[in-house]
Amino acid sequence: IHKKYLTITDKYYDASPSLIADYLKDIIKDKSVCDLGCRKGHLIKQFLKYTKDVSGVELEKEYYNICIKEGLSVVCADYYEMKLPDVDVYYIWAVNDIRQKILEQLKAQGLSGTIIMRLEPKEDVIFKEPVITLLFNKIEKIKMQVIEF
């Protein structure tokens, strides 16, 4: 995957899940996906347009309840303390130490596949894979790395 810039004109932050899902559609198409730390499930809803199935893991009970009310397949758990689901693609938006730890956990549990890691805008890259930069609102950058493991 190479660096690519996309621009959208929608000024609302909630549009970024749609932008991300549309950009990742070739990676997630007809695959099973798990959003680790899915919050209110915005990205799960967008992934559903392209995937075979989508699940989520959310620690915060308040956000978990929102997902359940929306009819989304989400478990309320700490993904560090659970057997992670065996899916084709994992998505996580987290800081460096968490991204490193979750990748190690996936490997330790004997899982394999693809992990898409969203980076904070000014965060250092810790993996060798290329950084995908999506330009949102002509101002905000969304940076991700796609890693096969």
Task: List, run by run, the mean pLDDT of 10-residue segments along the chain (149 residues).
Answer: 38 65 94 97 97 97 98 96 96 84 94 90 71 68 84
Which pLDDT score is estimated for 42? 95
Distance CA 73, CA 123 (A): 30
**Which secondary-structure segment (H or E) carries 105?**
helix 96-108
What secondary structure letter does DSSP report for 113?
A: S
Q: What is the pTM of this model?
A: 0.84
Contact (Cβ atoms closer than 8 angstroms) between residue 53 and residue 27: no
Which pLDDT score is estimated for 123? 67
Strands 140-148 and 7-8: unpaired
- Both tokens of 35, joined, read 């959003």
Which pLDDT score is estimated for 91? 96
